[in-house]
Chains A and B, each alone.
Chain A
Amino acid sequence: MSPVVRLLVKRLSISVIVLIGVSMLIFTIARVIPGDPARIALGPNATTEQVEKLRDKLHLDEPIYIQYGYFVRDFAKGDLGVSLYTNRPVTTDIAQFLPATLELVIVAGMFMIGLGIPLGIMSARFRGKAADNIIRVISLLGVSAPSFVWAVILMLLFAFFLPLFPIAGQISDTLPVPQRITGFLLVDSLLDGNFRAFFSALHHIILPAFALALSGIGQAARLTRSNMVETYDKPYIEMAQSFGFPARRIANRYAFRPSLIPSLTIIGLDFAAMLGNAFLVEAVYAWPGLSRYGVQVILRKDLNAIVGTVLVISATFLIVNIIVDLLIAYINPRIRLAERGGS
């Protein structure tokens, strides 16, 4: 078995264990917080019998471990139960709302990597000079305010005072929504060949994605810079300089790649953390994503939907982590070649 496959198998099995733990934890927490979900779902006018009937249907009167048993049994069939808020299967709800959020997070991730890392490289290459100082101030600014603050500021600046971008929403109201194929609006409109819808969706996503990405951009730039500055002191960089390798090539290749290994894990975690931060950014931009759904179901103590939403977010977190681990293994020959005994 190649070392990369071994790594993959190991990480996947750990992820399954983590997911089981998360499911138990969130299952219990959702049930022990005060409030009767059946009563909240049915409203104050429902009779006690109606409430009792729903409690019975949801097995709420049985011990938690028995309830968890029911959950596992249904989960094995791909059934996460019915949401008391939308009265639809939780899986249907998630399938509807998750793509918009993932789309937002992925575009934000592209901003984070596409802007944060090059800024960090530039900062390290011109360390101590003006460009470095400017980039450091900008990235500190990005890190120092949470993304929902940036969401409001950017919306005010670039949608309200200077109407370059739409205020809210995912696509222009006047355009017909493209046929739903993957659920990702950008992808669907392209598959549909509907470029007007595509550019409208792109136009709508830039501001919220940038707001969501700002702290990540700052963090990625700072991490890349600090790791690269350390790398610049290594003998192999002096060797590259003494052999006259061009400064730009030294920065982009010979100093950057060894520095990427320690940065990558944290950048990956930041990327996954955007899934949580997206909740507030989505609220500001009226983005029809999972977070609005998530907030609603938490407020309504919609047990099945809470567990379903949390599990999906944890799973995404774990998948991103596995991808990062694989990337590190690819970049770091010591891991990639570990199996061959260094010969």
Chain B
Amino acid sequence: MSEFLLDIRDLKLGFKSYAGLIEVLHGISLNIRRGEKVALVGESGSGKSVTARIILGLLQEFSTARISGSVSFEGDDLETQPLSVRQGLRGTKISMIFQDPTSSLNPVYTIGVQFQEVLRRGDVQISAKQAEARAIALLEDVSIPEPERVLASYPFQLSGGMNQRVMIAMALANEPSLLIADEPGTALDVTVQAQTLHLMRDLVERKGTSVLFISHNLGVVREFADRVYVIYKGRLVEHGRTSELFHSPRHPYTKALMAAVPRITGGGIPDIAEATDAYLDPMIDHEAEATS
């Protein structure tokens, strides 16, 4: 088996339109080891979220999407396999957490119904009773008091933080080997966001789940990730261990990104220079340098 749980090589994505092919990803390569937490950082529109959706095979269903490169998961190249195989991975081996937990849960079904659907992905035979018992146990894992009441509730009856815990419990319910967290909790209050992130980190560390953490929030990334990839306009610009990258960012874009974070100690909104061509400089890979 390969060293990597997920190994993306030279992934390119374009959308066909009347104006021709619009390139969104210009060939990115990234990998995640088992049990590792890797962050993909960049501004909105840089291609973070589409990368996640390609891994899940969600973009492949669009007739306008043009994808090339390879995505290997547990040693198998997914791009050469039929969509049904990827569909089979979703919710079982790979699961995802979204930005806004409340709008990611169906408003007209109870949490219990949706939880059961998720559990059925892992075990088609599961009975309603078993599913409920399992859901209660999983909700207790994410420190939800009165899990029975939560299961009987609709998402709009719960707080955003509570829904986020529910989402985390659902995402980890079938013990996936990869969890993709797409800007988790960005829509929540910072305090709630911090709590749920702690919870998520504890759980994935306990279960040995690998995480692809997609974010634009450098503070969170620094706390959470083992390694960081920085992405800018569909290109990876810098990669390294979290501590290294934060101590000595070398790519002009990474430097600008870090300078852009407002300090709690004051100083106002940071002055940021307009985007320059330097941002498109070749990728700097701290890891590759260390091993070579």
Contacts and interface: CB of A to CB of B under 8 A. Distances in A.
A343 B109 CA distance: 16
Interface in B91-110: 91-92, 95-96, 98-100, 103-110
A326 to B, nearest CB: 16
Contacts of B154: 333-334, 337
A234 interface: yes
A262 to B, nearest CB: 12
Interface stretch (B82-90, B127-135, B236-244, B273-281): B82-90
B60 to A, nearest CB: 12
B157 A236 contact: no
Of the four ranges (under 10, 10 to 19, 20 to 34, 35 or more), the interface on chain B belongs to 20 to 34
Contact of A254 (B92, B99, B106, B110): B106
A337 B153 CA distance: 10
A242 B90 contact: yes
A254 B106 CA distance: 7
Nearest to B56: A242
B89 A244 contact: yes
B103 A242 contact: no
B74 interface: no
A128 interface: yes
Of the four ranges (under 10, 10 to 19, 20 to 34, 35 or more), the interface on chain A belongs to 20 to 34
A240 B109 CA distance: 12
Interface string B155-194: 0110000000000001000000000000000000000000
Contacts of A241: 56, 58, 90
A243 B170 contact: yes
A128 B95 CA distance: 28
A245 to B, nearest CB: 6
A52 interface: no
B92 A238 contact: no
B91 A243 contact: yes
B33 interface: no
B181 to A, nearest CB: 12
A257 interface: yes
Contacts of A128: 63
A32 interface: no
B121 A244 contact: yes
A239 B121 CA distance: 13
Interface in A270-298: none
| Residue of A236, A240, A241 most packed against chain B (CB within 10 A) | A236
Interface string A254-272: 1001100100000000000
B91 A244 contact: yes
A22 to B, nearest CB: 35
A288 B118 CA distance: 54
Given A128-B63, A257-B108, A337-B157, A235 B98 contact: yes
A331 interface: yes
A332 interface: yes
Contacts of B56: 241-242
B117 interface: yes
Contacts of B170: 243
A234 B157 contact: no
Nearest to A253: B109
Nearest to A247: B87
A310 B89 CA distance: 60
Given A241-B90, A244-B88, A333 B95 contact: no
A284 B104 CA distance: 52
B100 A242 contact: no
A342 interface: yes
A253 B105 CA distance: 13
B104 A235 contact: yes
Interface string A216-253: 00000000000000000011101111111100010001
Given A243-B95, A254-B109, A238 B58 contact: yes
B156 A242 contact: no
8 contacts: A239-B96, A242-B98, A243-B90, A243-B91, A244-B88, A258-B106, A333-B156, A343-B157
Given A242-B95, A253-B109, 18 more contacts: A235-B99, A236-B104, A238-B104, A239-B104, A240-B117, A241-B56, A241-B58, A242-B90, A242-B91, A242-B96, A243-B91, A243-B95, A333-B107, A333-B110, A333-B154, A333-B156, A342-B156, A343-B157
The 9 closest A-B pairs by CB, nearest first: A244-B90, A243-B91, A244-B91, A242-B96, A239-B104, A236-B106, A235-B104, A235-B103, A333-B154
Interface of A: 128, 234-236, 238-245, 249, 253-254, 257-258, 261, 331-334, 337, 342-343
